[in-house]
Amino acid sequence: MIHGWSALGGLTMAGWEDELERWLMPFLDRLGHKTRQRMCPLYVAGLIGPGDRKSVQPMAERLATGNY
């Protein structure tokens, strides 16, 4: 594994999360509100990540256990 990439040609989970965080930085700076900045990466990860249900509550249960 090099720089978050797996031998199968895709990002590893840790690499994927790091890459998403870097990609979101310019947008997070514009949100202003601290809670929005904190929750936005979880929301976007929930939308593009695994899981059949993409409404807020199921995504929060998968990703933000104890953080919301």
| Domain housing 20 | 13-63
Q: Is the pTM of this model over 0.75?
A: no
Is 57 inside a domain boundary? yes
CA distance 58 to 61: 5
Structural domains counted in the chain: 1
User: Per the domain annotation, does 8 fall within a domain?
Assistant: no
Q: Which residues contact 21 (CB under 8 A, 6 or more apart)?
A: 41
Q: What is the pLDDT of residues 5-61, one digit of tens each?
A: 444 455 555 677 888 889 999 999 898 889 889 888 888 888 887 777 778 788 777
